[in-house]
Amino acid sequence: MIRVEGLRKTFQSKNETVHAIRDVSFEVGSGEIVTLLGPSGCGKTTTLRCIAGLEKPTGGKIAIGDRHVVDVEAGAFIPPHRRDLGMVFQSYAIWPHMNVIENVAYALEGRGLSKADMRQQAMKALDTVQMAHLADRPAPRLSGGQQQRVAIARALVGHPQALLFDEPLSNLDAKLRNEMRKELRRLQQQIGLTSVYVTHDQSEALAISDWVILMKDGAIVEKGRPTDIYRRPRSVFTAQFIGTTNLIPGRLESRDGSQVAVATSHGRLVGVEPTGALEVGAKVQVSVRPEAMHAGAAAGPNVNSLSGALELAVFAGSAVEAEVRANGEKILCLLDYDADRTAGHDISLHFSSDDTLVLADA
Ligand SMILES: Nc1ncnc2c1ncn2[C@@H]1O[C@H](COP(=O)(O)OP(=O)(O)OP(=O)(O)O)[C@@H](O)[C@H]1O
Ligand SMILES: [Mg+2]
């Protein structure tokens, strides 16, 4: 539905050239929600603005449906209002002098619809975001979450081909943000809208996306399904940016397909090397998530173990967050809530080779 090919954007100011996007390509299938995720300044908003037509790219093409909305080499550029897209930004951009339904209906101005038709369609869009009961409320007299719902209804009302979101939840408090995430996911599944969603919040990206695209310095580092990108990151950058992980340095000792053995200060660890590109002898980082660590000794061909001293254990409701000092390295683990929490005592940890990822040392 949306195809971005070889996109480049350079900003030129008096004494500086900023390469905001360097050769970015990806596709968004019909009905899919694809998230652009990455640290501040990596080019997410610029990519989105190029799709919207609010920014003219320096190179590349973008197609929406079966037409090219921009093709730099061919000199083609379709202006934003003719791209048939709905947009939702971090600032809700609600008209303060209008009530809720007028805010939504306003998006239909200029389409030659009667006032009654506009009102009816606006009401339908408000119903989708569960705001129909507040249709006649003055827009400024809404909570942040309610204003954001109105902004979403306004983006939906004209039945655009796709929706673009730029950090739409970042002004909301943590609890509301969690609710709105689920709400957006529900909406997505209910009406099957194609969306590109920008966020720097990895847990938000994992929660709402069909695909996550991780960006860094204007380029794509990795694209994957949320579960794959979390469970099988292909680089140290991804493993660290998405979730929390332990990194243990080592050297690749032997390989049998994607199964590898690594020499580390904790002895030999067996794990999975997801890229297939690392050679024996390579410097690597072994990545193990805290929740993959289990207390107690265990042995077997597919089990790794290490031991150290429990330095800190904090009760966190469903689990105990613990720090173990092993060979001078701090290992974070999530242990069962009944784990012995006496600091200072020795503790053995084991983790499956399937949860042990071997990545190139960055
Ligand atoms: N109009 C502009 N002029 C010059 N440089 C710009 C302009 N807009 C963006 N940039 C630069 O382009 C790079 C990418 O910016 P962009 O806004 O796309 O980042 P982002 O990933 O959305 O970051 P954030 O998470 O902080 O919103 C940054 O280095 C930024 O400073
Ligand atoms: Mg941004």
| Torsion angle in degrees (nearest 10) through CA of 215, 217, 218, 222 | -30
Ligand 1 pocket: which of 18, 91, 200, 214 to mutate (most atoms within 8 A of CB): 18
β-pairing, 211-216 vs 194-199, is unpaired
Please tell me the distance from the alpha carbon of residue 293 to that of residue 207, in angstroms, as a whole number.
23
Structure-block tokens of residue 5: 């090919």
Domains with residue ranges and CATH for the chain? 2-236 (3.40.50.300), 245-360 (2.40.50.140)
Burial (CB count <10 Å: 0-12, 13-18, 19+), residue 77: middle
User: What pLDDT, in 10s, does the model give residues 123-135?
Assistant: 999 998 889 999 9
Please tell me the distance from the alpha carbon of residue 22 to that of residue 254, in angstroms, as a whole number.
36
pTM for the predicted model, two decimal places: 0.91
Cβ within 8 Å of residue 41, ≥6 positions away: none
**Amino acid 35: pLDDT:** 98
Q: In this structure, which residue's CA is closest to atom 16 in ligand 1?
A: 43
Please tell me the distance from the alpha carbon of residue 319 to that of residue 300, in angstroms, as a whole number.
26
Give me the residues near ligand 2 (ion), CB cutoff below 5 Å. Answer: 45
Give residue 22 CA to ligand 1 midpoint distance, Å: 13
Cβ within 8 Å of residue 101, ≥6 positions away: 119, 122, 123, 126, 135, 136
Residue type, 261: A
Q: Is 46 in the pocket of ligand 1 (CB under 6 A)?
A: yes
Q: Is 45 in the pocket of ligand 1 (CB under 6 A)?
A: yes
**Amino acid 339: pLDDT:** 66
Please tell me the distance from the alpha carbon of residue 140 to that of residue 6, in angstroms, as a whole number.
42
H-state helical runs in the chain: 44-52, 100-105, 115-128, 144-156, 174-191, 202-208, 226-231, 236-241
Please tell me the distance from the alpha carbon of residue 113 to that of residue 238, in angstroms, as a whole number.
48
Q: Is 44 in the pocket of ligand 1 (CB under 6 A)?
A: yes
- Which atom of ligand 1 is nearest to 167's Cα? 27
Burial (CB count <10 Å: 0-12, 13-18, 19+), residue 18: middle
User: Which ligand is closest to the CA of 47, given by its number?
Assistant: 1
- Which atom of ligand 1 is nearest to 39's Cα? 25
Closest-CA residue to 149 (of 127, 170, 166, 164): 127
Q: Is 18 in the pocket of ligand 1 (CB under 6 A)?
A: yes
Ligand 1 pocket: which of 14, 45, 170, 217 to mutate (most atoms within 8 A of CB): 45
Q: Is 90 in the pocket of ligand 1 (CB under 6 A)?
A: no
Ligand 1 pocket: which of 44, 49, 171, 217 to mutate (most atoms within 8 A of CB): 44
Please tell me the distance from the alpha carbon of residue 309 to that of residue 143, in angstroms, as a whole number.
48
Please tell me the distance from the alpha carbon of residue 121 to that of residue 141, in angstroms, as a whole number.
22
User: Which ligand is closest to the CA of 14, given by its number?
Assistant: 1
Q: Is 54 in the pocket of ligand 1 (CB under 6 A)?
A: no
Q: Mean pLDDT per 10-residue run, the chain (362 residues)?
A: 97 92 97 96 97 97 96 96 90 86 92 93 92 93 88 91 92 84 87 92 94 97 96 95 95 94 96 93 97 91 94 87 94 83 87 97 86
